[in-house]
Amino acid sequence: MAKEKTIVTLARIDERVRALVEANTKDHKDFIAQVKDLCKHVNEEHEKYNTRLEKIEAIQLGEKNRYIGRLQLFKCLSAGLGIVLAVVTILKVIGVL
């Protein structure tokens, strides 16, 4: 009788362990699926961020190039005005004007 009781107890323990293993395997698969979904979402957000960052960098580079162009134009105009002023001054000193 004690032997049969032990066998029954061991069989129940074996059933519980198998049930736990199955539940653990299912939970593990669910967890892995959720991690994969999260990784996919993170990668998509990272790509969006990179795209936005590239656009911002392009805008800033364009603004910098426009500023440099305006600065060069100002330098050329200033130099031209300086030359004209020097010529006019020389002509006044000579007495032509």
pLDDT digits 0-9 by tens, 14-65? 899 998 899 899 999 999 999 999 999 999 999 999 999 999 999 999 999 9
Encoding tokens for residue 6? Answer: 């032990």
For 72-93, the pLDDT digits (tens) are 999 999 999 999 999 999 999 9
Assign 97 to helix, strand or coil.
Answer: coil
- Global model pTM greater than 0.85: no
Is residue 77 within 8 Å of residue 85, measured between CB atoms?
Answer: no
Confidence of residue 97 (pLDDT cuts 50, 70, 90): confident
pLDDT of residue 25: 92
- Between the alpha carbon of residue 66 and those of residues 13, 61, 70, 75, the distances in Å are 78, 9, 6, 14
> Which distant-in-sequence residues (6+ apart) come within 8 Å of 91 by Cβ?
97
